[in-house]
Each structure stands twice: as C-alpha cells, then as structure tokens.
C-alpha cells in the first residue's frame, strides 16, 4: 500500500471537518434538531448559485458568504413558519429546505451554462481533490508556504468553533437543556439558537467543499450521536464527538486507499468511506456502549448484587 503526503493532507482536512462539525453537531443532537444540519446543508445551494450569478466569479469568499447567509435564513424561515403557520418544526424545516434546494438546483443548472459548477460535486464533495487546490496563506508574511485551501478554511472554522464553544459553554449548555430558564436568567435562548444555527451554517458550507452537502450531515450528526451513547457528561460528549470525527476521517481514507489494493475495487470515494466508518462506529456504540448500548442494557437487567451508591461530586466536601 502506498501512502503519499497527499493522503495525509486528505486525512487532516477530513479530521478538521470532523472536529468543526462535532461541536455544533453535539448540540443539534441534544436539542433533537439533528435534521437542521440536513436542512441547512441542502438549503445553502441557492446561496452558492446566487453568489456566483451575482458576482460572476467562483471566488470562495463570496460563495461562502452567500451560502452561509442562506443557511442562516433557513433557520429563520423554519422558526417563522413553525411559529406563525401552526406547523410543527420538522415539517416547516422540510418546507423551507426542499424549496430552497429546488431553487438552488434551478439556479445551478442556469449557471452551469456559463461555467462548470457541478451539482454532483456539490452533493458528494471531492475530498480526494482537496490537496490539489492550494493557497499560500502566509504570503503577507513573505512566506511561500503552500497548503491546501480546504486545510486553511477548515482550520479557521475549527478554531472559531472551538473559541465560541469555550466562550459560550455554559450559555450553550443551559439554553440547550432549559431554554426557558436561560431566558429568565437573561441568557436569551433565541439568540443562542441563532448563534448555533450560524455555526451550523458556516461549518456546513466550509465542510461541504471537502465532503459534499450530504456527507457533511454524517460528520455533524453521527459522531455526536455515537458520543451521546457513551457518556453522561456534556464535556466528554463534545470531546468524544470530535474524536470520532477524527477517527472516522483517518479510518475512512485509509480504507479508501487500502480497499482497492486488497479487493481490487476500481474506485472508492474517501468521503463516502468516512461516512460509512462513522456509521460503523455508531453501530458499535449501539451494541457495546456500557450503559445505553444493547450489551449494557442486557447486563444491567441482571439482578443487582451490590448497590453502589453514587458518590457526591462536591468539591468542597470536608
């Protein structure tokens, strides 16, 4: 098996996408709004197309802004429709994102007459090609260091998400668990909701360049859901979620390199295998998780011999 520098870059880009996605992903799972990631990742399509049609360039910054804005609009529209239209949230999400996605498809086909903007690429991404698209991010320091653009973009998004998580950790926690109490304490749960939705929108747009608009959902939700089965602490869940994202990226791409050689499969998609790998992790957690897995539940059902009382966590206990 041959492993090139390019392969390392692919894993690094995938791992960064995994970490960046796991942060908002964990909160989506906990708020039982996992499909919001799905909705946003589809709905950004018209944002991409509009940004292209308006500016006439495929410059990533304008595309990025257009997509992120439409992504945020998805969250806003969903909220409006469910509060004004007597429609439950899932349904209003379905209305908003399918409509926006359809508009996006029409626009892309329109745009494609002028330039290649491949719908397939938008849907499935091109993880394997990310190392080829390079930039020199430190040119302003006079350094010629050339590095994949996706690495720079996802690196920045990962840092931003980490910073937001650390800054607003307790606010995210309380507004996800008990939004009403949060609001009465002066932590506006609505604003926190939109901050989270902005994170989802920006992260989705950044990550789908690498893994595509469908597979980005896998990175948002699956590692977070896996982590949820394995822990009773939010901080651990966030760490595990990021960890599973990184592992899935590494294993997925490794399999993509390894499988064709061993089994002679002609062509394998790395992004596809990253998603499959995270699915396998999830399946393993469903089976083996100590408390919430099938095995754990089976073992817990046996009669208790010795009841072990929970020890208080009090740091001040003397």
Partner 1 sequence: MTKTNLPPAEDDPHPEHSRDAPLSIHDLTVAYHRKPVIWDIDLDLPEGKLIAVVGPNGAGKSTLLKACLDLIPRVSGDIRVYGKPYRQQRSLIGYVPQRESVDWDFPVSALEVVTMGVYGSIGWFRPVLRKHRAKAQEALEKVGIGHLAGRQISQLSGGQQQRVFLARALAQEAQLYFMDEPFAAVDAATERAIVALLRELQQQGKTCLVVHHDLATVARYFDHVILLNMRVVAAGPTAEVFHNENLQKTYGGKMPLLEEAGQALRQNLS
Tell me which of 2, 142, 144, 233 binds partner 1, using CB under 8 A.
233
Query: Is there a contact between 55 and 62 (Cβ–Cβ < 8 Å)?
Result: yes
Pick 141 or 310: Cβ nearer partner 1 = 310
CB of 186 to partner 1, least distance (A): 5
Site for partner 1 in 270-309 (CB under 8 A): 309
Pick 12 or 289: Cβ nearer partner 1 = 289
Q: Which among 67, 50, 6 is positioned nearest to 208, based on CA atoms?
A: 67
Query: Is there a contact between 33 and 82 (Cβ–Cβ < 8 Å)?
Result: no
Kindly state the number of chain residues that form the binding site for partner 1, as judged by CB under 8 A: 37
Site for partner 1 in 38-67 (CB under 8 A): none
Q: Does 314 bind partner 1 (CB under 8 A)?
A: yes
Helix, strand, or coil (residue 65): helix
Compute CA distances 84 → 87, 90, 190, whole Å.
Answer: 8, 14, 16
Pick 254 or 292: Cβ nearer partner 1 = 292
Tell me which of 141, 262, 304, 310 binds partner 1, using CB under 8 A.
310
Query: Is there a contact between 44 and 205 (Cβ–Cβ < 8 Å)?
Result: yes
Instruction: Give the Cβ contact number of residue 136 at 10 Å.
Output: 13
Tell me which of 232, 303, 307, 308 binds partner 1, using CB under 8 A.
232
Stretch that binds partner 1, among 88-96, 98-106, 198-206, 226-234 (CB under 8 A): 226-234
Site for partner 1 in 112-171 (CB under 8 A): 167-171
Tell me which of 207, 217, 234, 271 binds partner 1, using CB under 8 A.
234
Q: Which among 186, 238, 191 is positioned nearest to 27, based on CA atoms?
A: 238
In 113-188, alpha helices (H): 119-124, 149-167, 169-177, 179-184
Site for partner 1 in 166-195 (CB under 8 A): 167-171, 173-174, 176-178, 180-187
CB of 24 to partner 1, least distance (A): 16
**Phi, psi torsion values for 307, nearest 5 degrees:** -85, 120
Q: Does 32 bind partner 1 (CB under 8 A)?
A: yes
CB of 83 to partner 1, least distance (A): 10
Q: Does 213 bind partner 1 (CB under 8 A)?
A: no
Compute CA distances 62 → 27, 47, 91, 138, whole Å.
Answer: 28, 10, 31, 21
| 253, 257, 263, 268: CA torsion to nearest 10 | 60
* Interacting residues toward partner 1 by CB under 8 A: 30, 32, 86, 167-171, 173-174, 176-178, 180-187, 228, 231-234, 236-237, 309-317
């Amino acid at each position: 098996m041959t492993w090139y520098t390019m392969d390392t870059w692919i894993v690094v880009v995938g791992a960064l996408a995994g970490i960046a996605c796991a942060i908002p992903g964990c909160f989506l799972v906990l708020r039982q709004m996992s499909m919001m990631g799905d909705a946003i990742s589809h709905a950004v399509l018209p944002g991409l197309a509009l940004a292209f049609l308006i500016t006439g360039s495929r410059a990533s910054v304008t595309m990025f802004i257009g997509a992120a804005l439409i992504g945020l609009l998805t969250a806003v529209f969903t909220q409006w429709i469910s509060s004004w239209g007597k429609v439950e949230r899932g349904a209003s999400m379905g209305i908003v994102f399918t409509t926006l996605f359809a508009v996006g498809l029409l626009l892309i086909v329109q745009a494609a007459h002028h330039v290649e903007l491949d719908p397939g690429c938008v849907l499935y991404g091109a993880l394997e090609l990310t190392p080829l698209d390079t930039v020199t991010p430190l040119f302003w320091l006079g350094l010629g260091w050339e590095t994949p653009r996706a690495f720079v973009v996802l690196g920045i998004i990962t840092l931003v998400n980490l910073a937001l998580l650390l800054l607003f950790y307790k606010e995210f926690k309380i507004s996800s668990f008990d939004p009403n109490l949060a609001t009465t304490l002066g932590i506006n749960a609505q604003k926190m909701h939109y901050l989270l939705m902005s994170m989802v929108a920006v992260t989705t747009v950044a990550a789908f360049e690498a893994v595509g608009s469908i597979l980005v959902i896998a990175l948002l939700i699956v590692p977070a859901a896996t982590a949820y089965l394995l822990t009773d602490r939010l901080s651990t869940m966030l760490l595990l979620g990021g960890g599973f994202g990184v592992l899935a990226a590494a294993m997925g791409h490794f399999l993509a390199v390894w499988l064709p050689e061993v089994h002679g499969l002609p062509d394998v998609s790395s992004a596809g295998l990253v998603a499959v790998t995270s699915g396998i992790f999830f399946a393993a957690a469903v089976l083996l998780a100590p408390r919430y897995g099938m095995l754990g539940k089976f073992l817990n059902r046996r009669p208790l011999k010795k009841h072990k009382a929970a020890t208080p966590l009090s740091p001040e206990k003397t």
